[in-house]
Structure 1
Amino acid sequence: MLTIFFGDMENSVYNTAVYFKNTYEPEWFDSALAKQMVKDIDKSDVLSGECIQSPVLGQIPPERLSGGVKTLLLMLNEPDKIFNASTCGDNCAKWILKIAESKNLTINLRHLMDFGKDTKFTIVVGNSGEIVHSMKELIPVASEYLNKMKQE
């Protein structure tokens, strides 16, 4: 189940790049899901938990992956923490939903992420407890909390 808190949130990990650099384990790259996310988002191949083959940069360490992939890997491997998913682009949305299929996942967003016009999902808006099942339902609820954040 995916829960999203919109706006500023205490106890969320805001700087996911620094957190990833200091906490990731090479074993995180062993799962098929991790390899699929790296391939889809960064168009790169996992050679090992310490070496990624990028078509642009050549062989790189995991710390040089995109902010979106690093944040997804944190969500996958540390589901008890709340991460700032605004470091992810919309191309990460399907992966966030995929991770939430197998575990309870709570994320923080400071923008409206596009989960897809025709995508059906179950998301709990943590600010209110409201449950939404489509972007049509999510947009007005998220906008309310994001607009409050801009006014503060």
Structure 2
Amino acid sequence: MLSIIYGDVKNSIYNTNVYFKNSYEPEWLEAELAKKMIRDIDDSEVLSGECINSPVLGQIPPERLSGGVKTLLLILNEPDRIFNASTCGDNCAKWILEIGRIKDVTINLRHMMSFGKDIKFEIKVQNGGETAHSMKELIPIANKYLNEMKQE
């Protein structure tokens, strides 16, 4: 299940680019889900665990993937850690939901991410323990905690 904590989280990994650069494993990129995410988000193909073919940049190392893809790979491969998913755009939201369907993960958000107007999901908001099943339910919950963050 996907859990979200809105606002600042003491043990959240905020700089996902630096963390990814120093911790990713080449085999992460060889998983089928990773290849799908990279193809969808970065429009690139995984050639190996250490080489990606980008239509814009040519052959690149994993460190040159977008911040969103790197964060998704961290969430997928280190589910016991809390990553700042505000480094992801809304184009990553469907993949965050997919990861949450296959394993229990907690992410940190410091903004309102759109998971899709007509998408049904189950997200637990850890700030107050609420569960949301749609954006219509999630928006007021997230807004409450994001507004609290601004007032601090």
TM bracket (short chain): over 0.9
- Is residue 107 from structure 1 mapped to residue 140 from structure 2 by the alignment? no
- What's the counterpart of residue 88 of structure 2? 88
Show structure 1 runs of 5+ residues with no match.
Answer: none
Aligned to 1:19: 19
Partner of 1:30: 30
Q: CA deviation at 1:150?
A: 1.0
What is the TM-score normalised by the length of structure 1? 0.99
Query: Matched residues in 1 for 2:56 and 2:99: separation?
Result: 27
Residue 147 of structure 1 corresponds to which residue in structure 2? 147
For residue 59 of structure 1, what is the amino acid of its counterpart? Answer: Q
Report the number of matched residues: 152
Aligned residue runs from structure 1 range 66-81, under 5 A: 66-81=66-81
The Cα shift of 1:8 comes to 0.4
Large movers: runs of 4+ above 6 Å: none
Distance 1:53 1:62 in 2: 10
Q: Distance in 2 between matches of 1:132 and 1:24?
A: 31
Q: Distance in 2 between matches of 1:37 and 1:104?
A: 18
Q: Distance in 1 between matches of 2:119 and 2:112?
A: 15
Write the distance in 2 (CA, Å) between the matches of 1:150 and 1:55: 40
Cα distance in 2 for residues equivalent to 1:23 and 1:49: 13
1:128 aligned residue? 128
